[in-house]
Chain A
Amino acid sequence: MVNRIWSAFIIIGILFTLLTGQLELINKIILESTKSTFDLTVQIFPVIALWLGIMNIAQVSGLLKKISELISPYLGKLFPGIPKGHEALSLIASNIVINMFGLGNAATPFGLKAMQSLQELNDKKETASDSMVTFLIINTSGVTLIPTTVISMRMMYGSNHPTEIVLACILATVISSLSGIIIDYIIRKGGKGA
């Protein structure tokens, strides 16, 4: 899927610039992609290093396992493929909770670690497991309770009520996350029935 979308992006984009005569622009875009990638990598590298360090303290001390056992009865229902008390659960929970607080950068390392943990449980290493798909659908639906970036941008532009949009954000995110979980559930059940 990524393969097809990626090729489509490149083919459509290049053909469009060629047809509209923007030869100089397309050269610039292609070459500057490397610089953007480098900048992004340099930005997230230390963040990942920091949180993998902190996370490892939680792992070695047994805290992750403890949290997993505590949340298994609840989160386990969404992820029937993960054994009770498995560390993947607390990594997923950490990712979701940190995202809720609008701290996307700090959430990413936990999410990547959760994927590693889910991959260990996965039978077919090149195909996404049910748990992975469910986790990423929840993640991409943007479960944010406190949208910190937006609030600070609104403050910057002199809003009278920078936080007045919070309730609307929560409602919208609840609607989209729930529909994601429902769609995922229906597709999975449908797939098994067929």
Chain B
Amino acid sequence: MLNFLSELMIPLMVLFIVLYGINKKINVYDAFVNGSVESFKMILTIFPCILAMILGINIFLQSGILTGVLNLIRPFLLSLKVPVEIIPMALMRPISGNATLAILNNLLLEYGPDSLIGRLGSVIQGSTETTFYVLTLYFGSVGIKRIRHAMWTGLAVDLIGIISSIIIVLLFFGS
């Protein structure tokens, strides 16, 4: 049902916009083409931001330093009853969407989608966003250099989202 609604969204939106345009007697074809041509400019502006971001993120993530840090804080997390299997995904979530999806994929494969870990991973994935990617891309695309409190607030919100996910899943599905 929910999936169906989601699948209906794009076709209905496109249909509505085109019908609205025709109703207002504008040339919808020309409007589409003229709008679409702007994508070249947009992609040229965001390309360097994406390259810089992927370079920084890949060096950091693939160096293996997160695994090292995780091993250091593992005893502390275990004492808080946090399911540690989920931590790599939680750490990765704000930084890289692809890496998070890959981890979730492994979790679902290993523990099954209806296990506690599988559900927790699903909820974290479904309720958070790749903060670092969004901020770099959106601010970079209009040349903003000073982003004020956006980064720290964004990361704090991710942390709140992940902690709430853990608590909610334990409440809903725990034991």
Contacts and interface: CB of A to CB of B under 8 A. Distances in A.
Interface of A: 1-3, 5-6, 9-10, 12-14, 16-17, 20, 22, 25-26, 29-30, 32-34, 36-37, 40-41, 44-45, 48-50, 52-63, 98, 101-103, 106, 108-109, 111-112, 115-116, 118-119, 125-128, 132-133, 136-137, 139-142, 144, 146-154, 157-173, 175-177, 179-180, 183-184, 187
B164 A137 contact: no
Give the interface size bracket for B toward A. 35 or more
A132 B139 contact: yes
A163 B3 contact: yes
Contacts, number: 333
B84 interface: no
Contacts of A6: 52-53, 56
A119 B55 CA distance: 27
B168 A168 contact: yes
A123 B165 CA distance: 39
A147 B151 contact: no
B123 interface: yes
Contact of B139 (A40, A128, A167, A169): A128
A144 B127 contact: yes
A158 B115 CA distance: 12
